[in-house]
Amino acid sequence: MNLLKSALAYFEQHQPVIAVRDNKSPYRTGWNEYFSRQQTEDEVRQQFSNGAWGVARVLYPACDYIHLDFDGKHGKKAWLKTGIILPKTARIRTKSGGHHLVFKSSELLRNTALKRAVRIVEADCDCKKSCGVDFLIRGVAVVPPSPGYHEVVSLELAVPIPDDVVRLAMAKREQKKDPKFGGKIPQGKRNVTLLSIGGVYRHQGAEYGELVEKLWKENRSRCQPPLERSAVEKIAGSLCKYEPAKKSKQSHDDKKEVEFVSIDTIQPEKVDWLWSDRIPLGYLTAIQGDSGVGKSYLSLEIAASVSSGRMLPGNKRQLSPSHVLLLAFEDAPGDILRPRLDLLNADNSGIIIPDPKRRLAPNLMSVELIETAVKEVGPALLIVDPIVAFGGRRNNDKDSEVREFLSPLMLLVQRSCLACIMVRHLNKQSGPKALYRGSGSGDYAAAFREIFTVAEDPRQEGRRVFAHTKNNISGLQPSLSFYIDENGFRWGEEVDMTADELVAPESSRNRGRRRLDTATRFLEESLSDGPTASEEIFKKAKTAGISRDSVWEAKKNLGVRAKKEGLLGGWQWELPVRSIRIEGENDE
C-alpha cells in the first residue's frame, strides 16, 4: 500500500496526517494549525502525491488519539516503577525497536491543562540514548506503513487512556521547575546551557581550570542526568578560545604592545546556526519592517519553534528544545505575549521575560543585566524588540553612540554562543536598497551579520514576505511567505520577491507585475496544445529564466486546472475551456 493511499485512509477516519522525512521531521511547517481547524483532502494529496518517506499522525486534540512512547531498551522496565497496569490497546512497533501504545482521549484528559508532550518515566541506565516513556499529545507520531513501523495490535482496539496515566503526566508537568535561577537542566539542553553559563565566567576572567570546576559544580547540581567530566572539560576548552574582558583600570606600565601573527596560525572555525543559513549563533541578526507588518509576531514564531524544538522552514537539522530570553518592550506580557505564544504552541516554560511585577524601564536594561540572565537561564536565543527601546537615551542616529551599546552586546552573544534577533523599524526614506532602510545609524547595518526585511506582498492580499537582505556568512536564502490571521501564524511557500522590491516605490513594483505577465504568457503558450505534465512546464520555465514561484502565480492567474494521471502518475495541467482559442475561429 503506497503512502498516499494510506494517508487518505487515515484522513477518512478523521485523523490529520503529514508527510515526514526519515529523521521524522515534517517536510513542511504549519501542521500545528490542525489543532484548530480540519485538514482537507487536497492538503493530504498535495503532501503525499510527489513522494514522501513516511506518514505521521497529528495527535490529540487534532484527532482523538494519544501515544505512550516506550523509548529505548529499558523503557518497559522503567514503566514498572509506576505500578500502573496498562490495559490491552492498539500497539505500533517503531523503526528503532520500541513500541507506541495508542489510546483514545478520556474525559479527564480533555479537562486537564496538559498542552504538550511530557516524559513521565525516566530509566536508570547508562545508555547513550535516554530510555523512558513519553506521554505524546499536541505533536505528531510516525505510523505504519512508514518504513520500519508495523501495527502489532489494530487501532480499532484502542481504549481510553487510563486516568492514572493522565494524573501521572499532570504530576510530572507540575514537578518541572522553572528553569530560571538555578532550576534543573534537562537532557537536550545541558550543553547549550553550560556553554552560556561558562561564557559569563570566561568573560569575568576564569581560566581553564577554574572554568572546569565551576561548570562541573553546575553540572552535578543542575543537569539531569549530569554530563561526563570529559564533556564538561570540552565545553571549558571551547570557551577558552575567547579572551576574557580586560580590566577597566589599567596602568600604563601594565599595557602590552600590540602583537601580530600570520593568518596561518589561526585555526578555521565553522559557523553554527540556530536556523540554517539564516540565523547564526554568536552574531547579531536584525528583522526590520514598517509598523504592523508582523515582524514582532514572526520573531515570536521563531521563539516558539526554538522553545519547543520545532523545525523552521529549510532548517537542515533538528534542534533540541531550548530556552529563549525575550526582551519585548512594546507588548504587554499578559495581554499580547502569552496569548500569541499559546496560539503558536510554544513551550512557555522555556521562554523567559523580565518579571512584570519588577519590570525595569527599557533605558535601564543593560548588558550586565542581560549577562546575569544568560548565566541563570542558558538561552539559545535572545530577542530584543525593538532595538531603539534598548538603546535608551542614546542617540540612535549617531554612529559612535550606537557602537557604544552594541559592541558589549556583540561580545556577550559571541562568547555565550547564542543567537540574537533585534527588531527595528524602517525609516521614511524611499531609496531602492532595503539594506539602508532600517531606522537609525548606518552602523546598525554594519554590526548585523544577517538582516531580514518583512513587508506585505503587493501581489497578493493577506500574504507577507520574510526576505533575506544581508548575509555576511553564507549567501542570501529564498524569501519566505507567511500569514497571520485569526488562527495565528503559518508559513507559506518560497516567493520570488527580493527585499529591495518589497521596499521599492510603487513604480518599481511594476517590475514584479511585468514578471508575472511574462510568466502568464509563457504558461498560456505552453498549454495551448493541450494538457502538459507540470514537471515539463517547470523545466521549460527554468530554461526561459522564469522562476517556479512565478509559474505558480501564473497558474492561479489563468485558472489552470490540474489532474492526476492514475494513482502513481504525475500531474497534468490544462487551460480552462474559456481560455482555449481555436486558430481561425472568429470572435463572435
State yes or no: pLDDT of 382 exceeds 90: yes
pLDDT confidence tier of residue 250, bands split at 50, 70 and 90: very low
Domains along the chain with CATH numbers: 3-175 (3.30.2250), 185-246 (no CATH), 273-503 (3.40.50.300), 506-579 (1.10.10)
pLDDT confidence tier of residue 581, bands split at 50, 70 and 90: very low
pLDDT confidence tier of residue 282, bands split at 50, 70 and 90: confident
Mean pLDDT of 140-150: 91
Mean pLDDT of 474-501: 87
Which of the pair, 489 or 571, is modelled with greater confidence?
A: 489
pLDDT of residue 505: 67
State yes or no: pLDDT of 180 exceeds 60: no
Mean pLDDT of 29-47: 85
State yes or no: pLDDT of 101 exceeds 90: yes
Q: What is the CA radius of gyration of the chain?
A: 27
Which of the pair, 331 or 284, is modelled with greater confidence?
A: 284
Report the percent of the chain where pLDDT is more than 90: 21
pLDDT of residue 512: 63
pLDDT of residue 400: 65
State yes or no: pLDDT of 26 exceeds 60: yes
Comparing CA positions, the residue from 188, 411, 384, 201 lying closest to residue 303 is 384
Which of the pair, 232 or 250, is modelled with greater confidence?
A: 232
- Burial of residue 19, with CB atoms counted within 10 A of its CB: 0-12 exposed, 13-18 middle, 19 or more buried: buried
Q: Are 549 and 536 a contacting pair, CB within 8 Å?
A: no
pLDDT of residue 102: 95
Which of the pair, 471 or 393, is modelled with greater confidence?
A: 471
Report the percent of the chain where pLDDT is more than 70: 85
Q: How many C-beta neighbours within 10 Å does residue 331 have?
A: 15
- The total number of residues shown for the chain amounts to 588
| Integer Cα distance of 276 and 264 in angstroms | 28
* pLDDT tens, position by position, 181-199: 456 788 877 887 888 788 7
State yes or no: pLDDT of 297 exceeds 90: yes
Which of the pair, 126 or 209, is modelled with greater confidence?
A: 209
What does 341-382 look like in DSSP terms, one character per residue? Answer: HHHTT--GGGEE---GGGPPPGGG--HHHHHHHHHHH--SEE
Which of the pair, 59 or 265, is modelled with greater confidence?
A: 59
Give how far Cα 458 sits from Cα of 103, 191, 229, 296, Å.
47, 44, 56, 20
pLDDT of residue 59: 93
pLDDT of residue 399: 58
State yes or no: pLDDT of 114 exceeds 90: no
Report helix, strand or coil for 475. coil
State yes or no: pLDDT of 246 exceeds 60: no
pLDDT confidence tier of residue 584, bands split at 50, 70 and 90: very low
Mean pLDDT of 485-495: 87
